[in-house]
Structure 1
Amino acid sequence: HMRVAEEARGRGKQICFDPGQELHYKWDSDTFTRMMELSDVLFLNHAELRRALKYTRMTKPRDLLEYVDTLVLTKGKRGSSIRTRDDRIDVPMVPAEVVEDTTGAGDAFRGGYYAGLHRGMSARDSLFLGAAVASFVVERQGPQTNIPTFDQAWERALASGAGGE
């Protein structure tokens, strides 16, 4: 991971770091801190946030902005947020029709978030889109059994408050 990030950084590319569950066994304080220094965006869920704060000896999520420009936090039923040095955006969870299996919800969220940014959407709407994609994925057993189209996900995101900036 580090070598790829260093090469991409050298080419002027944006680095989005999502340590995922590997944070608990692959990274240590030194390697995690170095990877954050190379990164622009850091994705964390609640458990990963606790470990990141421990590795960096910091106490608050916003403290991680000493390393990255953008912190994206996924908070399950409490929604998600983006923090930068100047701003904080919180969006609620996009409700699923039913929750069968949460496996892959975080990956689905990130995929939707990236799709929104790629389409030129605001950070807020990209959070909503990510949450909407995740809401579809949790409705079926298995992480790839209910992947929505863009239009399906965006319709659900709009129904939950996206697009109202």
Structure 2
Amino acid sequence: MPIPRITLQEGDITKVAADAIVNAANSSLLGGGGVDGAIHRAGGPQILQECRALRASHYGKGLPTGQAVATSAGRLPARWVIHTVGPVYSTTEDRSELLAACHRNSLRVADELGAHTVAFPAISTGIFGWPLQDAARIAIGTVRETECAVVREVRFVLFGADAYNYFKTRLDR
């Protein structure tokens, strides 16, 4: 199985046309701040309605960190939103594998959906405090190691020049 091509874009993930966009969700799946809040606002009430249904069925206690689940994309220019819960950064505990799992599991879900293009934000780098340089290392390294049956392109949509530059430096290695 091939490894997806990786591209970078600076901008707003809610405006990206892709088969699937990844939401850096909180475990409640019910919206929040940062990327999560922006996706819920731009996508409209359909995403929240589907997230509530997920909470009522399989994820009564919320989505565990590192796992991924999909909903439709509502009014977003994508077909699906893949929700994944990134880890909170810790200086005393190595949670790198959980951040890598967010990317691997999102790609697995994208493959199951039949998505050819997937857009990722810089997961856990906002209020969860993960340093951009390390997040770029984990994200790009994980995608480079993950074989996909269907996904052909992974686009990292990065908010701001700092995030873009860290990911570009890592991608160019």
TM-score norm. by structure 1 comes to 0.29
TM-score norm. by structure 2 comes to 0.29
Larger radius of gyration: 1
Give the number of the structure with larger relative contact order, counting CA–CA contacts within 8 Å between residues 6 or more apart.
Answer: 2
